[in-house]
Amino acid sequence: MTSVADVLRSLHQAAPPEFAFEWDRIGLQLGDPAAAVSRAVVALDVSPDSVETVEKASAQLLLTHHPLIWDPWAKITSREPMGELALRLARLGCASLAAHTNWDCAPGGINDVLAERLGLTDIHPFGPAPTCDQLKLVTFVPEASAEAVIEALHEAGAGKIGEYERCAFLSPGTGTFRGSHQSRPAVGEPGRVEHVAECRIEMRVPARHQAACEAALRATHPYEEPAFDWMVLQPEPQVPLGRIGSIDPAPLNEWSREVESRLGHPILVWGDPQKVIQRVAVIGGAADGEWRSAQAAGADAFLTGEVKHHVSVEAGWADFPILAAGHFATENPGMLRLAEILKSKHPEIDWQFHQPTMGHSGRPLASRG
């Protein structure tokens, strides 16, 4: 049986929670983590449209990019639009998961897919990056138990550094102790001074994994009372939000027509139509405020989903082209990619990708933005 928690673990392998910005709302927002999942729906939004797809599919899981719950709710009633959707999902026994800025930032996520869809090459991250509070766990174990403890800590989330995992530093030493007459030492006897060949283990731990790692240590350590210390490290920057890459040099008006063709969506463009661009920065969704960081990163133009009027004016003063390609059009392809990833991880689940009905304006009727 595959549970909601199993899918959540796989989701967090693709879109690690530490890649989310501090203000974001991600992960399991509604439902029982132990509930079984045999059918699931992936969509950009929790909307009447996507919930109807859940109903038709008898799905037990709805995974979206935009969270069901953003600001704390004072009440949940059918008179509130999102409250009604939450109640419908609850009645269906359907869990709601969100992968928001963690999937925006993640390698292979929303913005990598957008850059690929636009044909960018030589792609690199740029822009703001979330930070992850980091700790170092130091513990001491008999040498024979070191590998088992390291493995348990790794499974609980410790020891990941960049593209490497299960990272640990070991140094040998001698531990000495004397247990009371009420103790039950794993080595030696109560009331007697013991000297044991031990191994000092040091592993980095994201702060959100502290409780899980401490529980794993206590469960695996052979001693009745394991000795360990937590050290606070500097917060660690994660993968930046945006992507910047190259295109074949082209006038802005020519490239904007190609963008419309590649995304299948009308766009708005501000800038000199004849200005030749080659380096392009992209961030899906609503990220017009990052045009300055795009410019600083060396971009000739910046593409995002939505652009406010005053931002277009400011960018115009700076002679920096900016394009609004639609919130839906810039993010939905990345959710299709996530659905494909999870289907490969859990082929036992019947996955459906929800494609909203399009209105006459070319904008999805069900998208909240």
The fold of 4-100+331-353 is: 3.40.1390
Question: What is the pTM for the complete model shown?
Answer: 0.83
Residues whose CB falls within 8 Å of the CB of residue 143, separated by 6 or more in sequence, listed in order: 172, 197, 198, 199
Three-state secondary structure call for residue 26: coil
Taking Cα atoms as reference points, which of 16, 13, 4 lies closest to residue 101?
Answer: 16
Residue 187: the pLDDT is: 81
How buried is residue 249: exposed, middle or buried, by Cβ count under 10 Å (0-12/13-18/19+)? Answer: exposed
* Radius of gyration from C-alpha coordinates of the chain: 25
Q: Are 62 and 94 in contact (CB under 8 A)?
A: yes
Closest CA to 301 of 265, 331, 261, 273: 273
The contacts of residue 134 (CB under 8 Å, 6+ apart) are 204, 205, 206, 207, 232, 233, 234, 235, 236
Identify the residue whose tokens are 């348990």: 152
**Cα 263-66-131 angle, rounded to 5 deg:** 100
Torsion region of 352: left, alpha or beta (phi above 0 gives left; psi -120 to 50 gives alpha): beta
Q: Where in the chain is the domain with CATH 3.40.1390.30?
A: 4-100+331-353, 110-129+240-325
* DSSP structural state of residue 348: T
Token pair listed for 219: 């469960």
Encoded amino acid at 143, one letter: E
Q: Cα–Cα distances in Å, from 47 out to 58, 119, 207, 341, 360?
A: 16, 31, 33, 23, 19
Q: How far apart are CA 296 and CA 31, in angstroms?
A: 43
The CATH code belonging to domain 110-129+240-325 is 3.40.1390.30
Q: Which CATH architecture has domain 131-237?
A: 2-Layer Sandwich (3.30)
Q: Are 324 and 268 in contact (CB under 8 A)?
A: yes
Helix residue ranges per DSSP H, the chain: 4-14, 48-57, 81-92, 101-105, 110-117, 146-155, 210-220, 252-263, 291-296, 309-317, 327-345
Q: What is the pLDDT of residue 357?
A: 65
Query: β-pairing, 134-142 with 193-206?
Result: antiparallel
Work out the angle between the directed axes of helices 4-14 and 327-345 (0-180°, nearest 10): 120
CA dihedral 175, 181, 185, 189 (to 10 degrees): 80
Token reading at 331: 């993010």
Alpha carbons 282 and 305: distance in angstroms, whole number = 9
Q: What is the pLDDT of residue 161?
A: 87
Q: What is the pLDDT along the chain (369 residues), one digit of tens a residue?
A: 999 999 999 999 999 998 999 999 999 999 999 999 999 999 999 999 999 999 999 999 999 999 999 988 888 998 888 999 999 999 999 999 999 999 999 999 999 999 999 999 999 999 999 998 999 999 999 999 999 999 999 999 999 888 899 999 999 999 888 988 888 888 888 888 989 899 999 999 999 899 999 999 999 999 989 999 999 999 989 999 999 999 999 999 999 999 999 999 999 999 999 999 999 999 999 999 999 999 999 999 999 999 999 999 999 999 999 999 999 999 999 999 999 999 999 999 999 999 886 543 344 433 333
